[in-house]
Amino acid sequence: MMKNVLIVGTGGIGCELVKLLYNSVQIKITLIDFDIIELTNLNRQFLFTSKDIKKYKAQIVADKIKYITNWDVNVIIDNIFNFNLDFFKQFDIVYNCLDNNETRTYVNTRCFLLKLKLVDGGSNGYLGQSCIFDYSKECFDCLPKQIPKNYNICTIRTIPTKFEHCVEFIKEIIIEKGEVFKVKNLKKFINKQILVQNGNKKLKVKYNSKIYSKN
């Protein structure tokens, strides 16, 4: 009997997981993710190329797998928070390929209520971990968690969505080895870095005012 699998998140871990699953067994896969591909994703999310920038990750992953295997993949471009228990009931197993605990907790709660097997994976630099929860004992939320003191730059999108992401973004482009660059026009410098990350380094930004840092 063909298994019905849900994969939440199609970034670095999601790309690798889809490849492994389709190389090993014949299953029915549903991908859900509303994130788009950015230039900074290309060095670690191998299914994407520069031609895919600004396209939806889940759709591109599905297109690449269909091209290689000729198998159909169900794609949902949406936020997992918009789906209730009835949605999860159709699956035999769920894979969490996420970069934040808030979403992990949401998926875990639904799987716990349905006693639906959950496989959770994560990475930090060169380190990685995976856990299988069949809910015979503990669940994801039973595990102790540390509050991060900083945020991995790979989880920060080109347009930051949280205050913490803004702080880490500024630290990443201005601070190097604990020393602050002497930037005469901070506003211009930051905007230039954003354009470079988006592959638009030749564009110019007009300014109404200038901000200077102290030397």
61's CB contacts (< 8 A; 6+ apart) are: 10, 14, 15, 18, 31, 47, 73
Evaluated on CA atoms 160, 164, 166, 171, the torsion sign reads negative
* Residue found by looking up tokens 């994976």 in the block: 121
81's CB contacts (< 8 A; 6+ apart) are: 103, 106
**8 contacts 94 by C-beta, under 8 angstroms:** yes
Task: Answer yes or no: 154 catalytic.
Answer: yes
Residue of 111, 139, 154, 166 with catalytic role? 154
99-119 as b/e: b if 16+ CB within 10 A = beeebbebbbebbbeeebebb
Q: Report helix, strand or coil for 165.
A: helix
Catalytic positions are 154
